[in-house]
Amino acid sequence: MPETIELNINGIAKQLDAAPNRTLHDALQYQMGLTGAKHMCDRGACGSCTVIMDGRPVLSCSILVCECEGKAIETIEGIAADPKWKPLVDAYCKWDAMQCGYCTPGFLTTAKALIDRSPNPSEQDCREALAGNICMCGTYPRHATAILEAARNMNSEGGGLNG
């Protein structure tokens, strides 16, 4: 039977009926209208459904929503709404680190978590952090460029990430 749980999504508390077999991804799509985390492989192999949970990028297709109570969850919608991360979104758009755009939120969310952890990533750091995100359009060579530029811009703007 569904149980009411409280989720913390993008800093906002939300009450939700969580059926035991519902994944976090399904709950985001069907119950919260957040469709930024995308359904691609649905088996944890492609990274398109990535969200950040307690600071770590994780796969929402492979998490039961009923196990998310008390966790801080960030989705692409939260990242997009935070002006602090505008440089990252801008860099992605500027460098065309996308084509059809379907996997892009998953990439961007993973990239955000990377910059959170290491504000000055190397190109190799970027490639390794995104090694589990699959892009069917083959935009891979463009991501590191975007992330490195974003990190640079964020560090120079008003004292960097902590500013």
Partner 1 sequence: MKQFKHLNVRSVEEASEALGSGNAAMIAGGTDLLGVLKDNILETYPEAVVNLKSIPGLDRIREENGNLRIGSLARLADIAESELVSKKYTALAQAAKAVATPNIRNMATIGGNLAQFNRCWYFRKSENRFDCIRKGGRECFAETGDNRYHSIFGGLRIGASACKTECPAATDIPDYLEQMRGGDPGKAAQTIMKANPMPMITSRICAHPCQLGCNRCQSDESVNISAIERAVGDFIMEHRDEYYRPPAKGTAKKAAIVGAGPAGLSAAYFLRRAGLGVTVFDKKEEAGGMLMYAIPPYRLPRDIVRGFVSALRKMGVEFQVNKEIGKDILPEKLECEYDCVLYATGAWKRPIVGITGEELTVFGLDFLMDVKNWMKGKIGSEVLVAGGGNVAMDVAVTARRLGAGKVTLVCLESREEMPASPEEIERAEDEGIAIMPGWGLSRVLEAGGEIKGMELKRCVSVRDEEGKFNPQYDESQTMEMKAENILMAVGQAVDLSYFGENIGLQLTRRGLIDVSDDTKMTSKEGVFASGDVTTGPDKAIGAVVGGRKAAEGILRHLKISDPKAAEAPGESCLIRFDPEGVRKTEALKLGALDGDKRSLDLEDSISPKMDEAKREAARCRNCGCYCAFPSDIATSLSALGADIVTNRRTLSIDSLYGSSLSGSTVLEPGEIITEVAIPAPEDGSHSAFLKMAWRKSIDFPVVNCAVSTGSKARVCIGAVAPKPYRAINAEALITGKEISEKNAEEAGLIAVEGAIPFEAARYKAQLAKVLVKRALLAAGKQIAIELAIETEAK
Partner 2 sequence: MADIGANGDRENFKVVGGQGNPPGVVSYAMATGLAKYGVDYVLPNMLHAKFLHSPYANAKVAGINDAKARALSGVVDILTWEDEDIRDLVPRCFDFLSDRPWLDNIADRSGAEVAAIVVAEDEETCEEALRLLEIEWEMLPHVTDLREGNKLGAPVVRPGEDAKPTFWNYLSAEGQPPKRGNTYTVVDIRGDVCEAFGEAENLIEYDLRLPPFATRSPNPLASVAWWEKHPYTGEEPNLYIEGSVRWRDALSLTYKMPMEKIYMEGLFMGGKYCDWSLRRCQEVTPLLAKRYGRPVRCADRREHMYDFLMNERFIQMKVAFTKDGLITAIDDYSLCDKGGRGSAPFGHVGDLSQGPYKTTKCKSVRQKMEVVDSNRGVMWLSGQHCPFNWDTITTGIYIIAEQLGKDPIDIARLNLHGPTSPDDTNPVPSFDKCVEAGKKLMDWNWHPSGAKQLEDGRMHGACFRYQMTPRHSMKERHSKLEYRDGVVHMPSRGPIIGTYAVEANAMVVAEELGIPYEDVSIDFDAVAAHCIYGGGSDGTVGPAWAMKECVQILKELLKEAAIDYAENPGKPNSSFHNVGQHFPTPGPFRGCGPEELEVADGRVFLKSEPSKGILISEVTHKNIVATHSAWPPPGVWVTGNMGEILDLMNTEYCEVAVDAETGEVEILRFGIAADVGKILRRTSLESQIDQAVFFSQGCQQFEDMFYDPKTGVLLNTNMADYKVPGMLDVPIVEKSILETRAGNGVYGANGMSHCITNTNMLIIAIHNAAGVWVEPPATPDKVLKALGKA
Site string for partner 1, 102-131 (x = CB under 8 A): --------x-----------------xxxx
CB of 88 to partner 2, least distance (A): 9
Within 10 angstroms of residue 110's Cβ, the number of other Cβ atoms is: 23
Pick the stretch among 8-16, 62-70, 132-140, 154-162 that binds partner 2 (CB under 8 A). Answer: 132-140
Alpha-carbon gap, residue 93 to 129, rounded angstroms: 20
Residue 10 makes contact with partner 2 by CB under 8 A = no
Residue 41 makes contact with partner 2 by CB under 8 A = yes
Among 31, 35, 62, 153, binds partner 1 (CB under 8 A): 62
Residue 20 makes contact with partner 2 by CB under 8 A = no
State the number of CA atoms in the 13 A half-sphere of 35 facing the CB.
4
**CB closer to partner 1 out of 31 and 153:** 31
**CB closer to partner 1 out of 54 and 96:** 54
Within 10 angstroms of residue 11's Cβ, the number of other Cβ atoms is: 11
The CA–CA distances, whole Å, from 162 to 70, 84, 100, 120, 139 equal 25, 10, 33, 13, 30
CB 23 within 8 A of CB 63: yes
CB 35 within 8 A of CB 3: no
Interacting residues toward partner 2 by CB under 8 A: 21, 29-30, 33-43, 45-46, 48, 75-77, 79-80, 89-90, 92-105, 108, 127-128, 130-143
